[in-house]
Amino acid sequence: MSLKRHIPNIVTLLNLFCGCIAVIFAVYGNFLVAAFFVFLGIFFDFFDGLLARKLNVQSPLGIQLDSLADLVTSGVVPGIIMYKLLAMSIRTTDFLTINEGWSSVEKWSFGSIESFIPLIGLFIPLASAYRLAKFNLDEDQQTYFKGLPVPANTLLILSLPLIMAYQNNDYINALIINTWFLIALTLISCYLLNSNIKLFALKFKDWSFKNNAVRYVFLVLTIVLLIVSRFTAIPIIIALYITLSLLDKKNIN
């Protein structure tokens, strides 16, 4: 049995491995390390499919394994983080001591109707699982995505604790840690994951600007936004991605 056929699956399992580590750190409230391992997992997720195509070893097993890995790295982890943020939003009143809130969430217990609000964050893994299952059965999504890809949604959720940790703007922190904002963002992200909105994929059939204008524009704007706004740019980039896709219907078929 050729080792070549197993290489993409090994890379997929590295994605899952990173996701499992991220779950552990997210449960203990260390969102920064969790984010690092999620980013690493998404990196592996990008290359497993690329390797499978280059080595011509695509298989139904690889497709299923990829979705199982994504469910952990890009489904369970953001769900845990949103759960933690919602729990903290109920307890935290002083945004200047927000870092203390990460560890205080561990002591959270269910004692009132209000205390069940954090469970809304776990809608994200449910919506992600449903989206991944639909993707595996949909043969049309070769050059575009139908609904927001789970890694993109994960980056959106992960950006919240990163913005608070590294950009430390009191007004932005107050918005992020607002319970109603977090609930609204959770529900919107669940909708986007399973919507019928067609979004372009970053797959280049050739390198011409004419056939890939929207991709080049998106990549350039993404780099500029990240340089200028750092982690705050991530939600803007996701909104930009959706907007450009809606404007570029002719190239999404």
- Which pLDDT belongs to residue 123? 97
pLDDT of residue 100: 47
3-196 to CATH, choices 2.40.128, 3.90.1690, 3.90.1150, 1.20.120 = 1.20.120
pLDDT digits (tens, 9 = 90+) for 109-135: 555 667 789 999 999 999 999 999 998
Residue 113 is predicted with a pLDDT of 65
Q: How far apart are CA 72 and CA 78, in angstroms?
A: 9
The whole-angstrom separation of Cα 229 and Cα 219 is 15
Backbone phi and psi for residue 248, each to the nearest 5 degrees, phi listed first: -110, 45
Q: With contact defined as beta carbons under 8 Å apart, do 47 and 10 qualify?
A: no
Sign of the C-alpha dihedral computed for residues 143, 147, 172 and 110 taken in this order: negative
Runs of H (alpha helix) within 31-137: 31-54, 60-71, 77-91, 98-104, 123-137
Give the model's pLDDT for residue 109.
55
Q: What is the pLDDT of residue 23?
A: 97
Q: What is the pLDDT of residue 95?
A: 40
Intervals of the chain under pLDDT 50: 1, 93-102, 104
Read off the pLDDT of residues 137-152 as tens digits, 9 standing for 90 and up.
877 766 788 999 999 9
User: What is the per-residue pLDDT across 176-203, written as a single tens digit (0 to 9) for each?
Assistant: 999 999 999 999 999 999 999 999 888 7
CA contacts within 13 A on the Cβ side of 112 = 5
The structural domains of the chain, with segments of one domain joined by +, span: 3-196, 198-253
DSSP, residue by residue, 5-52: GGHHHHHHHHHHHHHHHHHHHHHTT-HHHHHHHHHHHHHHHHHHHHHH
Amino acid 250: pLDDT: 60
Q: What is the DSSP letter of 165?
A: H
